[in-house]
Amino acid sequence: MERVVAWLNEKNPGLDGPIGIEEDLIEARLIDSMDFLEFIDLLEEISGSSIDLQEVTIDDFRTLARVKERFLASADLAEASAG
């Protein structure tokens, strides 16, 4: 999840504080249409799995909590067991 937050901060250098786990990333314009495919590539790289765009909705990317639940749960488990 740290890489996702770092990416969001890189794309939004004007952020005043931390990104809340339930903050709406799309409504807050932290992810825009120009960066969306790059964001998906990042999630695929971290998770080690491809994301089938036919099987997801925009809500799957709306909050950090949902992104973690939907795409990174297994990546977090692998990282915890390796550490």
C-alpha 67/C-alpha 65 separation (Å) is 6
With beta carbons less than 8 A apart as the criterion, state whether 47 and 72 touch. Answer: yes
**What is the pTM assigned to this prediction?**
0.85
C-alpha 11/C-alpha 48 separation (Å) is 22
pLDDT digits (tens, 9 = 90+) for 38-81: 999 999 999 999 999 999 999 999 999 999 999 998 765 455 55
pLDDT digits (tens, 9 = 90+) for 14-42: 998 999 999 999 999 999 999 999 999 99
